[in-house]
Amino acid sequence: MGSRFESEQLLPPAGAADPADSLWSRNEWHRSQGMPAGFLLFHEGVWLSAVRAREPRYVTLRPVRYTVDEEHSSFGEWYQHTLRDEFAERYGLIPEERPGRRTMR
């Protein structure tokens, strides 16, 4: 898995040191736990992140219930409003404001 920050994992489609950590294996596991079809999970950590196939968007999902918490129109927007916002202060990154965040709460 691709570690980002201390608690976040970007899931590789191929080349994972342990095949159980691949994007495909982790998606299979989350589906067995109740994640609906139509999501391709690519990140695990404090929250889950996926690409939604229907109405393509990058989304954050609540663990366990797999409900959409936020939607983003691009990978850059997802990164800005999730990982960067969460870890900017801790790692001395300059916070940036970008439009497009849609919270589903």
The domain tally of the chain equals 1
What pLDDT does 3 receive? 47
pLDDT-flagged residues of the chain (< 50) = 1-3, 105
| The predicted structure's pLDDT at residue 104 | 56
State which residues form the domain around 91: 2-103
Q: Which of 46, 80, 63 is nearest to 101 (CA)?
A: 80
Q: Supply the pLDDT for residue 12.
A: 85
Rg (CA), the chain: 14
Using a 10 angstrom Cβ sphere, with 0-12 exposed, 13-18 middle and 19 or more buried, the burial of residue 48 is buried
